[in-house]
Amino acid sequence: MQIPLARPDITKRDREAVLSVLKTPILSLGPKLKEFEKKFAKYVGRKYAIAVSSGTAGLHLAIKSLGIKKNDEVITTPFSFIASANCILYEKAKPIFVDIDSRTRNIDPEKIEAKITKKTKAMVIVDIFGQPADWGSILRIAKKYKLKIIEDSCEALGSKYKGKNCGTFGEVSVFAFYPNKQMTTGEGGMIVTDNKKIAELCYSWRNQGHSGRDKWLDFIRLGYNYRICDINCALGISQLSHIEKTIKKRDWIARTYNKYLGPIKGLIIPYVAPYTTKMSWMHYVPQLSPKYSRKDRDIILLKLRKVGIGCRDYFPPIHLMPPYRKLDCQRGDHPICEHISERVIALPLHNEITEQQIIYIAKNFKKILWKN
């Protein structure tokens, strides 16, 4: 049996939507771009949506739009996909990592205040694996210290914190559509905000700093090519139309995993906080109990792969990767993140997984743990 870790769910209608764009002469900056943005803004519940070429491009523009610049300090989590910290370095600001909560694996609000200095301007807060960050506490801190918030909701499309959508907590929030996310456009991302000025800047930066007026080559500021083409947008529109079905299926998979993996000794199933009123699972990531080492975990990953089970170590600590080591980050800086990173195992999560496959995964997991 071969069970991939992730795979996009592309329906017949998705394929038809893509083909229909290819029958028109407008492949970029066309009607599908506007339609995608409009429908996405409505789904998340924000005034503006700006589609871009990737989640990373979206995070970069989000950082710029809040005026973050050289030597500013930006608080963020070390337990995430590296893009959530890289965007801070793009503008030569300084990422200040804060350790995570051992259960939710999101940034720990109780450790934030000790890291705030006169130079702190903003926080990049990630909703990891689809679980919302502790927004109540985070918004209180942001208000007290007048810090701006960028929400990296790239993993949390459809999740809710106390009934409120992820992607509505940041002054600017960002989503991503890489093929392993809950929905995909191949490559792509979306910036959402209620701030008109920020939205206008992002529309402009996305397209080389264009004025937005009906005039060709009317560039009024330094911008980028962070455009996404209409072919991708058509796929996005179609994928968004069945997102609730996808979220439900992934939730069923997570609950089925819990049922079969829950009783296995040495394995800790993912925690869902009471404030998470809707969980849109991006990854299903159980952890090995503390008695296992990183070496054990790496051997277990290999053994799982050997029996056809796709799996990965989501995520290694960002602060221990070379671009951050250079900034004086070192082992021991964020012990909870490091402990968890050494023990996580992301398991297959996509629309085609069956109960039978989950039983197969649980059976093999048990066998492998027994021998370790």
Ligand X SMILES: *Cc1c(COP(=O)(O)O)cnc(C)c1O
Check binding of 40 to ligand X (CB under 6 A).
Answer: no
Beta bridge partners of 75: 96, 123
Q: How far is the CB of 179 from ligand X (least distance, A)?
A: 9
Selected from 65, 76, 77, 84, the binder of ligand X by CB under 6 A is 84
Q: Are 148 and 121 in contact (CB under 8 A)?
A: yes
Q: How far is the CB of 222 from ligand X (least distance, A)?
A: 21
CA atoms of 325 and 222, how far apart (whole Å): 31
Q: How far is the CB of 318 from ligand X (least distance, A)?
A: 10
DSSP secondary structure string for all residues of 62-122: HHHHTT--TT-EEEE-SSS-THHHHHHHHTT-EEEE-PBPTTT-SB-GGGTGGG--TTEEE
Beta strands of the chain (E only): which ranges?
A: 48-52, 73-76, 94-97, 120-126, 148-152, 160-161, 164-165, 172-176, 189-193, 267-268, 276-278, 287-288
CA atoms of 84 and 87, how far apart (whole Å): 6
Q: Are 356 and 295 in contact (CB under 8 A)?
A: no
Q: How far is the CB of 76 from ligand X (least distance, A)?
A: 10
CB nearer to ligand X: give 256 or 280.
Answer: 280
Strands of the sheet containing 94-97, edge to edge, are 48-52, 189-193, 172-176, 148-152, 120-126, 73-76, 94-97
Token pair of 141, please? 């801190």
Q: Are 79 and 337 in contact (CB under 8 A)?
A: yes
Q: How far is the CB of 142 from ligand X (least distance, A)?
A: 19
Q: Are 256 and 355 in contact (CB under 8 A)?
A: yes
Q: Pick out residues in 148-167 that bind ligand X (CB under 6 A).
A: 152, 154-155
Q: How far is the CB of 53 from ligand X (least distance, A)?
A: 8
Selected from 55, 109, 132, 223, the binder of ligand X by CB under 6 A is 55
Q: Pick out residues in 128-147 that bind ligand X (CB under 6 A).
A: none
Cα 234 vs. chain centroid, distance in angstroms?
Answer: 22
CB nearer to ligand X: give 36 or 178.
Answer: 178
CB nearer to ligand X: give 50 or 358.
Answer: 50
Stretch of 75-83, 99-107, 266-274, 325-333 contacting ligand X, by CB under 6 A: 75-83
Check binding of 80 to ligand X (CB under 6 A).
Answer: yes
Nearest residue to ligand X, by Cβ distance, number only: 55
CB nearer to ligand X: give 56 or 238.
Answer: 56
Q: How far is the CB of 180 from ligand X (least distance, A)?
A: 8
Compose the 205-224 pattern: x for residues touching ligand X by CB under 6 A, - for all others.
--------------------
Q: How far is the CB of 155 from ligand X (least distance, A)?
A: 5
The phi, psi pair for 97, rounded to 5°, reads -80, 140
CB nearer to ligand X: give 134 or 267.
Answer: 134
Peptide bond into 315 cis (omega under 30): yes
Compose the 166-185 pattern: x for residues touching ligand X by CB under 6 A, - for all others.
----------x-x-------
DSSP secondary structure string for all residues of 153-198: -TT-TT-EETTEETTSSSSEEEEE--TTSSS--SS-EEEEES-HHH
Compose the 270-289 pattern: x for residues touching ligand X by CB under 6 A, - for all others.
--------------------
Compose the 85-124 pattern: x for residues touching ligand X by CB under 6 A, - for all others.
----------------------------------------
Which residue do the tokens 């979306």 mark? Answer: 190
**Strand, helix or coil at 309?**
strand
Selected from 18, 54, 329, 350, the binder of ligand X by CB under 6 A is 54
Q: How far is the CB of 178 from ligand X (least distance, A)?
A: 4
CB nearer to ligand X: give 132 or 260.
Answer: 132
Which residues in this chain contact ligand X in the complex, by CB under 6 A?
Answer: 54-56, 80-81, 83-84, 126, 152, 154-155, 176, 178, 189
